[in-house]
Amino acid sequence: MYPELKPYVVLITGGASGLGLAAAQGFAKEGATVVIADLQEAAATRVAQQLGAQHLGLACDVAQEAQVNHVVDTVIKKYGRVDVLINCAGIADQVKPTVEQDMVHFRRLLDIHLTGTYMMTKACAVHMLKQGKGNVINVSSIAGVIGLTYRNAYSAAKAAISMITRTLGCEWAAAGIRVNAIAPGYILTPLTQAIIDEGKLDKGIVERRTPMGRMGTPRHIADAMLFLASDQAEFITGVTLPVDGGYTSWGAPSDAYHEST
């Protein structure tokens, strides 16, 4: 679909599961070389092997700067370049009243989502600036656009990711590096399935609150990532693109979707 992606080396954090996995499959299908950096080393390696011999799976906690730098060094030593970075690693927030929330989790969430995205982008940008070309795709969320009650750390981290997408997108625009973000709505992945199973998310309510009347699939997000990485998006930088079935556009005080409509 996008032949220009074929020679690219694409580094995907959190690529062992969910949205990152769909992105890995999507880029590999375009012929690109995919490196998965994930906390789950065995799953990262297994996914890379399933994609084919040219791909690589690496262990990485994106919240640890030394591990982030080690991953980027490994990619450069093995492939000589990094063309696309997808910052997709993430965890769910604690869903309980704020006064009962745990500071360890609050800090860990910010370390993974916000600081991890920042450190990985910074480490890759060193090489992208030398290349005179590069593409960063961050994963924000509808939570970073409209805010989700209880999910303080998550909503704040995702809003901050959208903001550094703007600042870095402008800083590096003339240097050939584009930085964009996607704000997924409710997408069915192991992360959201776990929240549904724990009774913290009601799928029926989400479907009624979404103008398109359904949860998205990981492929919806991967398709938007492929587009943003492609030359079709060459004049797009610094934006956060909602891919949410209309969720953040709905403002009326009623359900957004009715079976009969």
Ligand X SMILES: NC(=O)c1ccc[n+]([C@@H]2O[C@H](COP(=O)([O-])OP(=O)(O)OC[C@H]3O[C@@H](n4cnc5c(N)ncnc54)[C@H](O)[C@@H]3O)[C@@H](O)[C@H]2O)c1
Q: Which of 33, 121, 141, 165 binds ligand X (CB under 6 A)?
A: 141
| CB-based closest residue to ligand X | 18
209-248 positions binding ligand X, by CB under 6 A: none
Angle between helices 152-171 and 116-131 (to 10 degrees): 20
Neighbours of 7 (CB within 10 A): 11
- Among the listed residues 154, 186, 247, 257, the single catalytic one is 154
Q: Coil, strand or helix: which one is 143?
A: helix
154-193 positions binding ligand X, by CB under 6 A: 184, 186-187, 189-192
Q: Which of 5, 32, 114, 139 binds ligand X (CB under 6 A)?
A: 139
CA distances from 91 to 87, 144, 151, 170, 191 (A): 13, 15, 12, 28, 8
What kind and span of H or E run contains 5? none
Neighbours of 96 (CB within 10 A): 11
Instruction: Compare residues 5 and 139 and give the one whose CB is closer to ligand X.
Output: 139
Q: Which of 10, 34, 112, 226 binds ligand X (CB under 6 A)?
A: 112
Instruction: Compare residues 163 and 175 and give the one whose CB is closer to ligand X.
Output: 163
Binding mask 12-51 for ligand X (x = CB under 6 A): -xx-xxxxx-----------------xxx-----------
Residue 144 interacting with ligand X (CB under 6 A) = no
Considering only the stretches 47-55, 88-96, 197-205, 234-242, report the one whose residues sit in contact with ligand X under the rule CB under 6 A: 88-96
Instruction: Compare residues 135 and 189 and give the one whose CB is closer to ligand X.
Output: 189
Strand locations in 122-252, DSSP E?
Answer: 134-139, 177-184, 240-243
Catalytic annotation present for 154? yes
Instruction: Compare residues 5 and 63 and give the one whose CB is closer to ligand X.
Output: 63
Beta bridge partners of 216: 187
Q: Which of 91, 110, 146, 201 binds ligand X (CB under 6 A)?
A: 91
Distance from C-alpha of 89 to C-alpha of 69, rounded to nearest angstrom: 16
**Per the structure block, which two tokens stand in for 113?**
């989502």
Residues 229 and 136: beta-carbon distance below 8 Å: no
Instruction: Compare residues 25 and 40 and give the one whose CB is closer to ligand X.
Output: 40
**Per the structure block, which two tokens stand in for 95?**
């869903």
Task: Spell out the residues 6+ positions from residue 177 whose beta carbon is closer than 8 angstroms to its own.
Answer: 125, 128, 129, 133, 134, 135, 136, 168
Q: Which residues bind ligand X (CB under 6 A)?
A: 13-14, 16-20, 38-40, 60-63, 88-91, 112, 139, 141, 184, 186-187, 189-192
- Kindly list the catalytic residues: 154
